[in-house]
Structure 1
Amino acid sequence: MKLLLNIKKENDDLGKQVNNLVNILPKITYLKHCIAILLFAYSFTIQAQDLEYSSGKKYTLGEVSVSGNTSFSEQTIIAYSGLRKGKEMTIPGEDISNAIKKLWNSKLFSDIEVYITKIEDDVAYLQIRLSDLPQLNELKINGVKKGKKEGIIKDNKLKKGVKVTENLITTTKNFLTKKYQKQGFYNSKIHINTIEVKDSIETARVNMVLNIDKGEKVKIKDIAFSGNSVLSDKKLRKSMKSTKKINRLRILKRSKFIDSAYQADLGHVMDAYKENGYRDARILSDSIIVNNDKTISLKIDVNEGEQYTFGDITFIGNTVYSNEQLSRLLRIRKGDTYNGILLQKRIADDSKPDAFDITNQYQNNGYLFSSINPVEVSADNNVIDMEIRISEGKPAYFNSVSVVGNDKTNDHVIYREIRTRPGQLYSKANVVRTVRELGQLGFFDAQEISPNFNNPNPVEGTIDMEYAVKETGSSQIELQGGYGGGGFIGTLGLSFNNFSIKDIFKKDAYKPIPMGDGQKLALRLQASRFYQTYSFSFSEPWLGGKRPVQFSTSLSHTKQFLYNPATRNADKSRSFNITGITFGLAKRLSVPDDYFTLSQAISYQRYDLNNYNTGLFTFGDGFSNNLSYTVGLSRNNTSVDPIFPTGGSSFGITAKFSFPYSLLNGVDYDALKAERDENTRTRSDVNSTPLQVSDAQTRIAEIDQERYKWLEFYKVSFKGDWYTQIVKNLVLRPSVEFGFLGAYNNARGVIPFERFFVGGDGLGNYSLDGRESIQLRGYPNQSLSDQDGGTIYNKYSLELRYPITLKASAKIYALGFLEGGSSHNSFRDFNPFNINRSAGVGIRIFMPAFGLLGIDFGHGFDALPGQTEKHGWETHFIIGQQF
């Protein structure tokens, strides 16, 4: 048996060279064979045996057999090789080498050998001996989290059964190395080992172990520029938004190197030049230097070029708007320093869908198919003349408007919020506003609302509009227990924010409750040893279905039991009950704009005291009535997601009034006040007898019962929030609050109800008397007001928010805050700058089924009333409330 050719694969990258060598093998001497073997021994072994003849001879091919470690059938290999029985060929010759090449290029075999088994007359018998490339049996990946392994397998095609070649191993190493370098792991190391599987199965198989050592993300020690004289290194480094050098004082931006961010920041460096008139600025080269301390330094060589200014700016193609109107929108004048970035923003600002630019001016008035292109027509003497070429196109009209994805919410609830109608002239502002209104409903994932433009027809001037929404949980359940108010508190709350009251008697609608009409229904029960609270509320946002007029009503009952210090338990025979009912209407206005809402409400509360004597009330038996009217004006234009707004503002001013009874009831409150003051002095006089003190106390209670039979007061409150996106996802929220409680008749005095209690988490676990709990983190609950509450308060807050995730299942964001506020009892004591200050951090988690949850760690920098040392740290747990 004589060996004709043998090829063993060691490196796929040199395959072409081997194939070329195989082609000429029959034409070279044995010595040249040996030289070739030496040259390619590190990657290929190619052997040729002396067949006892020096030149090729023609033979007829006899039987061809196949042997070796292969799973392919003999017939398949012979047919694929082209060495068919009866074929006339020259041996040695190109037929043999071509057969070898075909089998080799299939990338299925690790080595191939062709033998002449015998020669009878002019008939040659051949044998093909080969071995399959090993298949991947098992893969073990070390060094990454479980969730990342599937991605590595998919990206590198490392499924079980794949042929394991040197090329596969090399490609996998290179892919992962580049991938981790782009993520900032510049010193990552990838090791791949294969282990042959020895078992009874004939197929060649190997187990692969992939060891990944990402190492630490490499930090940037220095960023140095060369070739710059106009802009300093400091300014250029500042223009790089995500690539920063090591600075121990920096908190928000890290100094770790990420290739993709670095490439983007090179573009930002050029933008810095373009914003200063250097439109020809270029980066000549950039390099990464690896330092001995495992950091890197970046070297960037720039060519600044020369500064340009704007020359003549001419508008061409405009018929809808005059040159003067477009110039006012462009706000760039001849002689201004050339700024290509600003020019593009004034034409079309992609970062703001409602930007004040020329493109939006056209698109808000129907010209969807318009295009605006700035063209430089001259740059003589560094003065650039511009033509703003405008193709206005035909006005576009909505052909159809549809919504998809609303599985629970009824169509009419969505369509009444949509600002685009079939047949209406296209307006980008209306599309943006529609997305905002749908997000504000709270029934859909605000991050997933997508306006889709279908079937645009510039010739006919029509467009089909489709709003894609994704339903999210809009009902909440509150079931909790905790310790507070002197005992265990249990709470059961149900809030249905997309309720349908018309289906309440339809059995089939309970899935699990009737839903889809956008109404809100809430039930709440809270109880402990010392109090019980029951409440019910309902609201319909579109009363009558024609206009955005919200009708709301609520009913509540609270019972408080007096604490008995002897038994340390509640005395059920002594109680303070409050029953209240409220009816309200809120109407969306159109002037000054339709972000304004005017709300009005009438409410009634009855306070019943049954042998309930405390420091708050001078009478322990009796009642008070509170009939009041509330009017409020608010404006809310915050961006799409109500849980995490990134722009806009929200403010509201409310005034609550009772009827001025003292003007009509004929009671002389000045005389009552004088009598009360006299009895107060008698009660406090050490020379008074016990009987005199008792009589004075009784008379004071009678006077106060008369004063508070019908509560008389007015109350004014203001709150404003503003949201600004500083950089992507980082949102600043300043906030201001103020409240004042006053009396019409000073002789009658300010009522002991409806007061402000400042400090703590602001949740107000059992606000029995109309009080308002004002959140001020870093201090205990209600600790910054008198025991009876304050009549004036002010508060300032500055909060910085950053989202961790905004998915529908859970929206999570972190925050840092600075706050200050105070509470006072008269304007004589009020000083808006004399406040209790605090700072801290926190986190918020919003889950549709449970509402908003969170925790804050606040540090109070000032002392509590009556103390001298600063308060220090306080922890607050937030449930169902958004600050």
Structure 2
Amino acid sequence: MLKRTFNVLHIFILLTILPLSLNAQQSDEEWYLGKTIIDIRFTGLDTVSSTELSGLVREYISQDFTDSLFYEIQSKLYALDYFELIIPSANKGDDAGNTVILEFDVKERPVISDIEFVGNERIRRGELLDTILLKKGDMINQTSIKLDESAILDLYLEKGFLDAVVKGEDTKDQESNTSTLVFTIEEGTQTKINEIEFVGNDKYVSDNTLKGQMSTKTQSIFNKGVFQENKLEEDKRAIEQYYHDRGYIDAEVYNVEKSIVTDEEKNINFLKITLYIKEGEQFTYGGIEFTGNKIYTTEELLEQVLQQVGKVYNESKFLADYQRISDLYYENGYIFNTISREEKRDEQNRTVSHVVTIVERDRAHIENIIIQGNEKTKDHVIFREIPLEVGDVFNKTKILQALNNLYNTQYFSVVEPQTFEGSAQGLMDLVINVEEGKTSDIIFGIAISGGDGFPISGQVSWSDRNFLGYGQTFGVETKFSPDSQDISVKFTEPRLFGLRWSGGVNLTYSHVSQDKIKRDNDGDGVPDNAPGTSIDDSIHEDYLMSYQSHNISAGVSTGYTWVTPVGRFGLSTGIQAGFKYLTYDADVYRPYSSSIRSNYGTWLPTDRWWTKASWDMRDIIYDPSKGFVLSETFTLAGTLPSSASEYIKSVSRFDVYFTLFDLPVSESFNFKSVLKFHTALSYLAQRPGGAPLNIEEDGFYADGMFLARGWSPVSGGQVLWDSNVELRFPIVKSILSFDIFLDAVGLWGTKDEFGDFFRQGNYGDIKFSLGAGLRLANPQFPFSLYLVKKFKYDETTGGIDWKPEAEYDTFGDSGLDLVISFGIDIYQ
């Protein structure tokens, strides 16, 4: 405290005396007063950036010099806490002395060269370094040292070291202007709880029930039993709230005793906590009455009250009712109302009621909407997500909608609204504080699976969902394996003409080596097969062929989204057109498919038109905890003459999310579980009047990474049914989650096979995957790592085949597979 006082006096003396020394450097005449400042310069800088200082003082250039302005500049420089001493001087800006140049010669504070900890036996150095704010290379000052002392002390208190002492000191090297920062720690003895006892709860509530309300626990296998005073205070309030919600409105924890027994051998204090409770009598609810309400009738206000008269009084339910009454006014713009409550008791009949007094005022109109914290994102990108404008009546529901809209852009990690009174009665300012997240995504994905093809495939993509801060999406994506490679460039503008009308363009090139293609070398219109086999038998690989294809295409798309109280409704459409070139060894093979034959050695046009309708009720699109999404996508390919591909495709998708529980464990962590159900049915049909389907190329594909996780890749499906159930346990909100899932995927080569699945119960067609692992939910890097067990129904034995692809299992005899992928929504 003495040192702090000295520093303040030191600065005061400098600010008082230095102007005098400045005067003394010039003639006795105060020539610089009233002269225009044309530049402000700094000397003595080593660590501090001159750019930062120039930004601080730039506003004073071109102003006339005054003593008050001079004091203001020096005060700002000292407030940075970068300098031990600042010596100013005034120099003539021209020969006539009509302008002035201010120059500040500074002595910087020392820079930290090393950080040491002495006495830390129970907490490792790395954890202490993570706790403090000061790092090597930072400028050192006493304020920062004190803050870090407190941070270290708080860490020790959290771990039960109640008598810990921390002292930070710096040793300065004058020659190099650096300091070694040393924190000396006296850890003391750790305190752990070995017993919690209650006195006074003999009548209504058991000890175990009360312990269940507490976050403070005794030492056990599952709990460290560390004592924290602030947690105990929270526990006292939780116990009192438990009683108050059951009608015991006078219940209180009126005393807490703590007795300590020290184990000298283990150097641990064992703590016994005794809580003394006064329970009181149980009250019933007598109702609520209103005074001062004119805007809403008493009947309208009572519609917000859910607690029933005559039932046991519940304080939390009353507070929720009271909040709904306040929200009714608040949501309709009456934010300046004064609403108060008064409790009334009937001790004889043990009832409690409330009188709510309302002082009504005019609606609040928005005078200004102010955005703060956005460095990259342009203001108009944020404004378009806020369903309010200057002059509108304040509306809480629309503010909450704005928060969801802004979070769903995935541009921001924090969005916090604030309200302030405006310049006149009935006016208010709405301030939206945002903290920008990373919007550039670099995604790496690898699938490791069995099968006849190459066992590894991957994807690398880069995209920026907020390109240059204008809210546009620009990205480059490539998928690769020895059998196929493609690259695409995409650009999307989500708000054409300021509306929820999107537009996008893309350019794509792909190369595919397609094998297992049916051939018809004898030209009899029947696929070739081994002698003695029937048409229905599987074709031997010696009677199959392969080909190479190259595809170049460009596309345009557009869509509109309607945001309503019952969800987001979307309608979009697009056209993709290009050319396809196909080659194979024509001297050896003749494909069975006429469309493959016609595409041989020539570029044929390709085109497809698609449209999609969706209904989305998810709270957060990229990591939902509730809501659902329902969509239907219809694609028509081959409308141009001589098109290489002709088909009709339908993809129907439904996902629903439920939060099973959300239990607070600490101030920064909730134990939460989200259940997800997903199902999607995809169907490929021949276009009326079009060529036969080329299932091998245009059909559906279960890749073992997104669909049928862990299974060997399979292509050539006319019908795909993809379903799964996931149980998600977020570890770090919207960043990291532990997932347990069950996949069920069916891929059928013809619609008749799909029909047989339902008619004959061919459950062996379904590929099941049971797995668990970690998923990065962060949209910047949605990487997933799962351990998967494949299985399927064995129609021969009527049992479960737990090793359906034993020869391809990653971990051999265990039948387990490691699946590395990335969690993007393939049905978007």
Residue 306 (structure 1) shift:
0.9
Q: Distance in 2 between matches of 1:616 and 1:392?
A: 85
Q: Distance in 2 between matches of 1:244 and 1:462?
A: 50
> Is 1:541 matched with 2:494?
yes
* Change beyond 3 A, Cα 1:530–1:749: closer
Deviations 1:644-696 (A, max 9, x none): 55x543413223243799xxx9xxxxxxxxxxxxxxxxxxxxxxxxxxxxxxx
Q: Distance in 2 between matches of 1:418 and 1:193?
A: 48
* Change beyond 3 A, Cα 1:723–1:577: farther
The corresponding residue for 2:248 is 278
The corresponding residue for 1:559 is 511
Deviations 1:564-597 (A, max 9, x none): 9xxxxxxx99412344444332211255646322
> Is 1:440 matched with 2:408?
yes
Q: Distance in 2 between matches of 1:713 and 1:817?
A: 31
1:761 pairs with 705, 725, 729, which one?
705
* Change beyond 3 A, Cα 1:217–1:633: farther
> Is 1:368 matched with 2:335?
yes
- Secondary structure of 1:262 counterpart: helix
Residue 432 (structure 1) shift:
2.2
The corresponding residue for 1:379 is 346
Contact 1:575 1:612 survives alignment (8 Å): no
Deviations 1:63-114 (A, max 9, x none): xxxxxxxxxxxxxxxxxxxxxxxxxxxxxxxxxxxxxxxxxxxxxxxxxxxx
1:172-571 to structure 2, matched below 5 A, reads 179=154, 182-186=157-161, 210-213=184-187, 218=192, 220=194, 226-240=200-214, 242-245=215-218, 248=221, 255-290=225-260, 296-348=271-323, 357-380=324-347, 381-443=349-411, 445-447=412-414, 449-456=415-422, 460-477=425-442, 486=454, 493-499=461-467, 515-527=468-480, 529-545=482-498, 547-561=499-513
The corresponding residue for 1:822 is 745
* Change beyond 3 A, Cα 1:225–1:585: farther
Contact 2:791 2:803 survives alignment (8 Å): no
Contact 1:761 1:781 survives alignment (8 Å): no
Q: Distance in 2 between matches of 1:578 and 1:150?
A: 52
Deviations 1:745-801 (A, max 9, x none): 799789455655557432xxxxxxxxxxx264xx3464xx67758522221112111
The structure showing larger relative contact order (alpha-carbon pairs under 8 Å, at least 6 residues apart) is 2
* Change beyond 3 A, Cα 1:829–1:615: farther
* Change beyond 3 A, Cα 1:480–1:733: closer
Contact 2:608 2:637 survives alignment (8 Å): yes
Contact 1:398 1:464 survives alignment (8 Å): yes
Residue 220 (structure 1) shift:
4.9
Structure 2 letter corresponding to 1:875: L
Q: Distance in 2 between matches of 1:377 and 1:616?
A: 93
Residue 861 (structure 1) shift:
7.1
Matched length: 614
> Is 1:856 matched with 2:786?
yes
* Change beyond 3 A, Cα 1:222–1:874: farther
Deviations 1:706-751 (A, max 9, x none): 9x95224433232334457713444433222222233667997894
Q: Distance in 2 between matches of 1:789 and 1:654?
A: 17
Deviations 1:333-384 (A, max 9, x none): 2112111111112222xxxxxxxx2222111101111233231123332111
Structure 2 letter corresponding to 1:716: S
* Change beyond 3 A, Cα 1:823–1:480: closer
1:594-743 to structure 2, matched below 5 A, reads 595-603=568-576, 608-611=581-584, 618-619=592-593, 621-623=597-599, 627-639=608-620, 647-658=625-636, 710-722=646-658, 726-728=662-664, 729-742=670-683
Q: Distance in 2 between matches of 1:616 and 1:844?
A: 47
Structure 1 letter corresponding to 2:786: D
Residue 209 (structure 1) shift:
8.5
> Is 1:586 matched with 2:559?
yes
The corresponding residue for 1:142 is 119
| Runs of at least 5 residues in structure 1 that lack an aligned partner in the other structure | 1-137, 163-171, 198-206, 349-356, 500-514, 565-571, 666-704, 763-773
* Change beyond 3 A, Cα 1:757–1:730: farther
Residue 191 (structure 1) shift:
9.9
Structure 2 letter corresponding to 1:450: E
Contact 2:590 2:597 survives alignment (8 Å): no
* Change beyond 3 A, Cα 1:717–1:879: closer
Contact 1:376 1:386 survives alignment (8 Å): yes
Q: Distance in 1 between matches of 2:590 and 2:614?
A: 32
Structure 2 letter corresponding to 1:829: F
Contact 2:662 2:672 survives alignment (8 Å): yes
Q: Which moved more, 1:479-488 or 1:259-268?
A: 479-488
> Is 1:577 matched with 2:568?
no
Contact 1:742 1:791 survives alignment (8 Å): yes
- Secondary structure of 2:302 counterpart: helix
Larger Rg: 1
- Secondary structure of 1:403 counterpart: strand
Q: Distance in 2 between matches of 1:193 and 1:601?
A: 64
1:768-779 to structure 2, matched below 5 A, reads 774=707, 776=709, 779=710
* Change beyond 3 A, Cα 1:749–1:760: closer
- Secondary structure of 2:239 counterpart: helix
* Change beyond 3 A, Cα 1:607–1:517: same
Residue 273 (structure 1) shift:
0.8
Contact 2:708 2:744 survives alignment (8 Å): no
Q: Distance in 1 between matches of 2:413 and 2:259?
A: 45
* Change beyond 3 A, Cα 1:382–1:618: farther
Contact 1:802 1:814 survives alignment (8 Å): yes
Contact 1:713 1:751 survives alignment (8 Å): no
Q: Distance in 1 between matches of 2:589 and 2:719?
A: 15
Q: Percent identity?
A: 17
Structure 2 letter corresponding to 1:815: F
Q: Distance in 2 between matches of 1:836 and 1:754?
A: 24
Contact 2:672 2:729 survives alignment (8 Å): yes
Q: Distance in 1 between matches of 2:723 and 2:444?
A: 33
Q: Distance in 1 between matches of 2:718 and 2:746?
A: 8
Q: Distance in 1 between matches of 2:225 and 2:705?
A: 36
Backbone CA RMSD of aligned residues: 4.8
Q: Distance in 1 between matches of 2:549 and 2:116?
A: 72
Contact 2:443 2:783 survives alignment (8 Å): no
> Is 1:842 matched with 2:794?
no
Q: Distance in 2 between matches of 1:148 and 1:288?
A: 29
Normalising by structure 1, what TM-score? 0.60
Residue 522 (structure 1) shift:
1.6
- Secondary structure of 2:211 counterpart: helix
* Change beyond 3 A, Cα 1:588–1:287: same
